[in-house]
Amino acid sequence: MKIQMLDLSQQYLTIRKDVLSKLDEVMSSSQFILGSHVKQVENDIAKMSKTKHGIGVGNGSDAIHIALQAAGIGEGDEVLTTSFTFFATAGAIVRANAKPIFIDIDPVTYNIDPTKLEAAITGKTKAIIPVHLYGQMADMDLIMEIAKKYNLHVIEDAAQAIGSTYKGKQVGEMSSAATYSFFPTKNLGAYGDGGMVVSNNDELAEQARVIRVHGSKPKYHHHVLGYNSRLDEMQAAILTVKLPHLSTWTGNRRVAAAYYTEKLNAAVNDHVVTPVEVDGNYHAFHQYTLRVEKRDELKEFLKEQGIATMIYYPIPLHLQPVFKDLGYKEGDLPETEKAAKEALSLPMFPELKREQQDYVIQKIVEFYS
């Protein structure tokens, strides 16, 4: 049996007719830039996020950068964030001419540990970027409490967490802004790049709209240095087809995750630590990530059995060569570094079949027997 990490072809077959119809609608309208479908998906995702504003941009990385710039983060400012995430988070901070300050993670959720935030705050600290890793939101109550105490912006990196909730609150509902990615592998993925900033902050949202079109308002009048970063009309049209299915797809992910957890806990709990959904959280399971013994050996064994797995993220950001000038060294963030050596993600997508999961579980049990 061959099992991919993600099989987008199965999903496409279920929506193919609607997708092609929408694309024909765009082509026939000849409205390709910031058209009606962009406006629709901006409104729909803002409404889902319980925010007043949705600003479609070129990709998830630009969404973080634009949100930072729109919040006034720039030269000499410090932004607290996690080292256990994809490069885009810290990359956007540096592109905004600010400095990332890396905070260790909570070993249970893999998210930023808010109990370590205050010790890192200085007079230069202007924002916190929690990353809702693997589809579970960080501890937003404590993060927001600290942010309010020190008058800091909170910009949520929700690239992996669309559809997740925290104590009934939506991504973006509590913070200055939140950012989404619509990269094809995301839970709500386009068929190319795309991203969005959502916010309840009128001024930040207006700045983000201006920044995404070269800093121009009105046209040919440039008051800030902006970028050409707009959500493509065709990608937006695809997202309007897919968004109504997101809740069902997320539910399917959660069912698959629960099955993995039940079976693996029963069979190999001495060797494997399954994901924990914190009380009050609704985990979207963008990834199903284990902590495992002999991680690299298990990964190679599963590959030989036709099972794809992924390591997110083998080299934490604070140890990346590009950030060497920040002065971090191995041992500075012990929980982050431990997770980087133990984390392994299993196949996870809404169409994952029970027999496929049984095969994956069987082979993991076989490896540890």
Domain boundaries along the sequence of the chain = 8-244, 245-368
Q: What is the CATH number of domain 245-368?
A: 3.90.1150.10
Q: What is the pLDDT of residue 79?
A: 98
pLDDT band at 20 (very low <50, low <70, confident <90, very high): very high
Q: What is the pLDDT of residue 366?
A: 98
Q: What is the pLDDT of residue 317?
A: 98
pLDDT band at 267 (very low <50, low <70, confident <90, very high): very high
Contact 26, 37 (CB under 8 A): yes
CATH 3.40.190.10 given to domain 8-244 = no
- State the burial class of residue 63 (Cβ atoms within 10 Å of its Cβ: 0-12, 13-18, 19+): buried
Average pLDDT over the chain, rounded to an integer:
98
Instruction: Quote the distance between the C-alpha of residue 234 and its chain's center.
Output: 22
Q: What is the pLDDT of residue 291?
A: 98
Q: Which helix (H) or strand (E) holds 127?
A: strand 125-129
DSSP state of 115: G
State percent of the chain over pLDDT 70. Answer: 100
What's the pLDDT tens digit per position in 285-342?
999 999 999 999 999 999 999 999 999 999 999 999 999 999 999 999 999 999 999 9
Q: Which helix (H) or strand (E) holds 128?
A: strand 125-129
pLDDT band at 277 (very low <50, low <70, confident <90, very high): very high
Q: What is the pLDDT of residue 325?
A: 96
Q: What is the pLDDT of residue 8?
A: 96
d(CA 283, CA 10): 23
Q: What is the pLDDT of residue 86?
A: 98
DSSP state of 225: -
Of 121-125, 161-165, 223-227, 362-366, least confident by mean pLDDT is 223-227
Region 55-76 average pLDDT? 98
What's the pLDDT tens digit per position in 213-257?
999 999 999 989 999 999 999 999 999 999 999 999 999 999 999
CB atoms within 10 A of CB 263: 18
Region 117-121 average pLDDT? 98
As a residue count, the chain comes to: 369
Alpha-helix residue ranges (DSSP H) falling in the chain: 8-29, 36-48, 60-70, 88-95, 140-150, 202-211, 233-242, 246-268, 295-304, 334-342, 354-368
Q: What is the pLDDT of residue 279?
A: 97
Q: What is the pLDDT of residue 206?
A: 97
